[in-house]
A and B are shown apart, each in its own frame.
Chain A
Amino acid sequence: MKEVVFERSFDPRRCRHLLDGRTSVLHCHHYSTLYTQLADDCTMLDARGLLARVAAETFFGILSSLLRKHALETPAERLAAAERYYAFAGLGKLKILSAGPETGEAELERSHVDEGWIRKWGRRDSPVNFITQGFLAAAFAAAFDRNPLDYVVREISSIVSGADRSWFQVARG
């Protein structure tokens, strides 16, 4: 498996962190869970779907650059790079269990969003990890040269609801 290294730098003139040349910012679980809560509560539009779509499109761009830069050819290499990026970004420990161009499954052993939500507000019955739903769509699309918005990702069980790990089902819609 090819090793994927993330290049970080700080531009002191602009006060910007760059990760592989893109502006990257540090935020905390308060910010990510408050954005998630905002999306969850928003009655103005489908903001949950919007948050997942923005995640899918953004991370697809990141992962596509990554696989070009490191010449990652196989789905296994590409999916491993996605898992590694997810962890590097502090989003948690993601494991893609099975994957093909049409369907797949993934589990989350540790989760920034779920654990941040529990720290802040405690458990709840329904899933909140819209960011990871989008990330998985991006990972599958990058792995199989598809459009990230083609994938439907459902969170079947969730750490935020008391499960040991979150479990996601992925299908091309």
Chain B
Amino acid sequence: MAIDRKRIIDALSKVTVAGDENGLIPAFGVLVNQLPADFWNGFAQRLTHLVDPDLREAAELLLVNAAHECGYHTGYGIITSEEWKAVVAPMVEKAPEDVLHGAVAVLAAWGWANAEIVELVPGERMVVRAYDYYEADPVAYGRASRPQAFMLRGVCAAFMDLAYGGPYDPTGATGLRTFTCAQTKGIECGDPYGEFVITRAKA
């Protein structure tokens, strides 16, 4: 495997991101924003903790689904971008496995998580470990009773969709949600890292 994770993070974390004269950041085929992690966490945490306890899982799934769809389209934008072609594509020897390793490195460069793939069964299963991620930040004391990295869950599943779910479909009608992700460990739950297990979605 020729993917140099450190080099990718080093190169892509330095890509200058700032609003243009219109206050917009067009990059990677999407409009990018750079907002405080507290904003995203604040909405997700308060939404999931304010709803009736019976609805909490449903609220969590809405957040995961938002990230899943985002990860699918943005992930595709990333792996077809000029930045990717310049930095990551030359390292890819075996697709789509190297592409997945590269995409997880880009995820780190975007500030989503210090994460890496620790297990990959092509076409079937991937395990990602995240040693630091902003979604764990809201728990400043004690341990949460449930894992709360909804964004990482969705994005990890989306990356497997892109790798093994068939051709990219801009409408999301096919290709999207062919995989699902369970968060089995969480820093917010007192574990030393977050762990995300991605498997084929049941039909």
Q: How many residues of A are counted as interface, with CB atoms below 8 angstroms from the partner's CB atoms?
A: 52
Q: Which residues of B contact A58 (CB under 8 A)?
A: 36, 38-39, 42
Q: Which residues of B contact A34 (CB under 8 A)?
A: 65-67, 69-70
Residue from A10, A91, A119 in contact with B33 in the complex, judged by beta carbons closer than 8 Å: A91
B116 shortest CB reach to chain A, Å: 10
B17 shortest CB reach to chain A, Å: 6
Chain B interface size band reads: 35 or more
Q: Which residues of B contact A35 (CB under 8 A)?
A: 40, 43, 66
B145 shortest CB reach to chain A, Å: 19
A100 shortest CB reach to chain B, Å: 24
Whether a CB of chain B sits under 8 angstroms from the CB of A15 is yes
Q: Which residues of B contact A80 (CB under 8 A)?
A: none
Name the residue of chain B whose CB is nearest to the CB of A26. B110
Q: What are 5 A-B contacts with C-beta separation under 8 Å?
A: A25-B34, A29-B31, A30-B69, A87-B22, A110-B24
A contact set with B: CB distance below 8 Å: 10, 12-17, 19, 22-32, 34-35, 37-39, 42, 44-45, 47, 50-51, 54-55, 57-59, 61-62, 86-94, 109-110, 112, 115-116, 119
B contact set with A: CB distance below 8 Å: 9-10, 13-14, 17-19, 21-25, 28, 30-40, 42-43, 46-47, 50-52, 55, 58-59, 62-63, 65-67, 69-70, 73-74, 77, 108-115, 132, 134, 137, 151
